[in-house]
Amino acid sequence: MLPTSDEIQTRIVIEKLPEPGVGVMPCDGEDFRLRRWLVCFASGPGWYPVGEFVALDAQAAIDRAVEVFGTASDFQAEEIPWDAAPLLKPRPASGP
């Protein structure tokens, strides 16, 4: 027999709440506006897109791409509008 939701409820007790405003800095909303970025790596004579990244700025998007894919000879990031369709992903060829 499976337990009912009444039987698996667990009580959580919070003994002390953090003081309000501790560790909070006032700032305008523009400081934390996330953007979509298309990051490209240079390899030889050409540029190759490596993926879309959401970040505060182009450098943060490039840094994340380098963490994921490793280094390249050069990097660039171009902002993508939020309402743009996602990039096409390559699909493996189906076998015979």
Domain membership flag for residue 71: yes
Domain membership flag for residue 8: no
* 16-71: pLDDT as tens digits: 666 665 555 566 655 578 899 999 999 888 999 999 999 999 999 999 999 999 88
pLDDT, position 39: 95
Q: Give the Cα separation of 38 and 85 in Å (integer).
A: 12
Domain membership flag for residue 44: yes
Other beta carbons within 10 Å of 53: 20
**Interior angle at CA 94, CA 91 and CA 95, nearest 5:** 145
Closest CA to 48 of 28, 72, 84, 66: 72
pTM above 0.85, yes or no: no
Domain membership flag for residue 7: no
* 19-32: pLDDT as tens digits: 665 555 566 655 57
Domain membership flag for residue 22: no
Domain membership flag for residue 41: yes
- What total of structural domains would you count in the chain? 1
Domain membership flag for residue 50: yes
Residue 85 backbone dihedrals phi, psi, to 5 degrees: -65, 150
Half-sphere exposure of 9 (CA within 13 A, CB side): 6
Domain membership flag for residue 69: yes
